[in-house]
């Protein structure tokens, strides 16, 4: 994405990674929060107050992910990201980059498709949003497994650098 190669991630980038990861996992686990109110709107009915409150949690958390993702992408362009560990195969490098690319797609495309469905009332966007759920779970699980494999099996500094900022 960028040519610059810093030695690690900044504290801001690391904080954004873990905050966004926690919020994405919350959205995946609690995705049902928005459904009763969304169904009511689709039927042309007014949702119950409690359902609207639950839906708002999904909306606000999702929009927050989008705003944080914009800041994170700007930081990534400005500062660059560290190089892959030495000795990694071309396939491993490709797999890590592909997962990172897809994760960026997720943190932008999910809030945007959700907003189009919720504010624009476009059902097709809601279908895409729903269909993406299992795909995202697979990418996140593979990404997390890759990170843990790097730490415990390959014993590289890849996990540590997403915890400890460069000074």
Residues 143 and 160: their CA atoms lie apart, in Å, by 15
- Which distant-in-sequence residues (6+ apart) come within 8 Å of 25 by Cβ? 140
| Single residue of 147, 154, 165, 166 touching ligand HEM by CB under 6 A | 147
Under the binding rule (CB under 6 A), the answer on residue 51 touching ligand HEM is no
- In the DSSP assignment, the letter for residue 125 is H
Residues 104 and 70: their CA atoms lie apart, in Å, by 10
Q: What is the nearest approach in angstroms of ligand HEM to the Cβ of residue 1? A: 8
| Residue 87 zone, left/alpha/beta (φ > 0; ψ -120 to 50; rest) | left
Residue 103 and residue 140 in contact, taking contact as beta carbons nearer than 8 Å: yes
Stretch that binds ligand HEM, among 14-22, 43-51, 87-95 (CB under 6 A): 14-22
Q: How many residues does the chain have?
A: 167
Mask 101-140, x = binds ligand HEM (CB under 6 A)? --xx-xx--xx--xx-xx-------x--xx--x------x
Count of residues near ligand HEM by CB under 6 A: 45
Residues between 60 and 99 with contacts to ligand HEM, criterion CB under 6 A: 62-63, 65, 76, 81-82, 96
For 104, phi then psi, to 5°, come to -65, -40
- Which distant-in-sequence residues (6+ apart) come within 8 Å of 3 by Cβ? 80
97 closest CA partner among 111, 109, 87, 83: 83
Q: What is the nearest approach in angstroms of ligand HEM to the Cβ of residue 48? A: 16
Q: What is the nearest approach in angstroms of ligand HEM to the Cβ of residue 26? A: 8
Applying CB under 6 A, the residues found at the interface with ligand HEM are 17, 20-21, 24-25, 27-28, 31-32, 34-35, 38, 58-59, 62-63, 65, 76, 81-82, 96, 100, 103-104, 106-107, 110-111, 114-115, 117-118, 126, 129-130, 133, 140, 143-144, 147-148, 158-159, 161-162
């Amino acid at each position: 994405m960028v040519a610059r190669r810093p030695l690690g991630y900044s504290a801001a980038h690391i904080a954004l990674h873990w905050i966004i990861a926690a919020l994405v996992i919350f959205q995946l686990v609690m995705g049902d929060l928005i459904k009763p109110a969304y169904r009511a709107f689709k039927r042309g009915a007014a949702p119950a107050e409690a359902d609207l409150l639950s839906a708002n949690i999904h909306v606000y958390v999702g929009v927050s992910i989008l705003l944080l993702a914009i800041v994170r992408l700007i930081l990534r362009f400005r500062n660059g990201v560290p190089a892959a560990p030495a000795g990694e195969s071309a396939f491993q490098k490709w797999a890590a980059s592909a997962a990172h690319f897809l994760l960026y797609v997720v943190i932008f495309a999910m809030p945007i498709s959700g907003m189009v469905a919720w504010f624009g009332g476009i059902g097709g966007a809601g279908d895409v949003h729903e269909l993406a759920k299992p795909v995202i779970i697979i990418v996140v699980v593979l990404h997390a497994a890759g990170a843990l494999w790097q730490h415990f099996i390959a014993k590289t500094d890849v996990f540590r650098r997403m915890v400890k900022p460069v000074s």
